[in-house]
Structure 1
Amino acid sequence: MQHPIRVMLVDDHAVVRAGYRVLLSQADHLEVAVEAESGEQACQFYVEHQPDVVVMDLSLPGIGGLAAIRRIRARDEGARILVFSIHDELAYVSRALEAGAKGYISKASAPDILLEAVLKIAEGGIYVEPELARRLEGQSAPGEPQAESFGNLSAREFDVFCLLAQGHTTRQVADELCMGYKTAANYATAIRGKLGVSTTAEMARLAYQNGLLKS
């Protein structure tokens, strides 16, 4: 009998994880071995349980999904991580793949896409949702927004930047990312310095130009 593919689900919403678990259980060669609700837990549980595939959300409390991907990959270069996120903007996709993710699909994708992606990555392949892959291939075309502007931001700075650009206050950013107000304010100051902007409006404009905000 073939050994089942052991999956770790990483999402901070228990109801969402329950839905993933039901979906993955439909394939008799997949099993959800462990669940985590934060980036820190994901790193800890990866070491303890050694799952075959990690299904990782990006919007997590604590260190966040991007940083968790980097930490897991630093411990195990062979880690197979699939990002399953509400974000379908190319800057997120690029950052996740650069961090070491082996695949990226959006939560708006059809259920069978998740199963297909997990199986492909478990086999050692790379899987990017077809529509996202098409957009990635065309992002260097004339007139397409580029994500290089954010290359100097750390994973957590990128998370903070996106929330500020969406109109969140510093207090709301702190609450959303489970950090202190002063920490969030320090991140905001560092981000403005790295990006050469001075106002939230300028952040929003930069985010829009890079496809991080919808028109």
Structure 2
Amino acid sequence: MSNVATFDTRTEAKIPVESPLAYSYRRSGAPAPTGKSRVVLRERPFLGHLILRGGAIVLDEAVREVLGVSLPGEPQGLVQDADGERSIQWLSPDEWLVIVPGGEEFELENRLRAALGDAHFAISNASGGQTLVELEGEAARELLMKSVIYDVHPSHFPVGKGVTTVFAKTTVILRRPAEDRWELVVRRSFADYTYRWLLDAGEEYGIGVER
């Protein structure tokens, strides 16, 4: 068992919390989806984000034991559990992003540390530093074509793939968990910029925001 001190970042005190896009909604508005909306944007805030680093074989055994899901079997892979609520994404040869429902990350981290024992690894809780934005609809890919430098054609970016790429003048983790749904993992400090860019670039598609 690792002797690293851990702490739960979600306090039980009744402190008001706001999503990374709360300011953006107030500043830029949040147009509701209509029948003409070909793209719908929604934020999934307050999820648990853990960064795992270490050897793939050792980590895979622990992750399967604790989460019941294996690490992606190839670079740029994205795997999900049966409910689609928990995912693991390849970031680099020794680095993976785990996203789970909010509130699960602290227990998950402790269980992984217990399962990994004295192995060489690192686990970082990035939950407060980033958020997840979904784009869904028939024009979602067209919107991304205007925004990222990575090739998002279906032949090059199939379902179950995820990459880190340039988005406008920042970077995001871009994922495709379903045929017509894309996800952007965005740093908190760039959330407002990303949101305003998407509203502007998505105007021609009648972009709507679900809150």
What TM-score, normalized to structure 1? 0.25
- TM-score normalised according to structure 2 size: 0.26
- Tell which has more relative contact order, 1 or 2 (C-alpha 8 A, sep 6+): 2
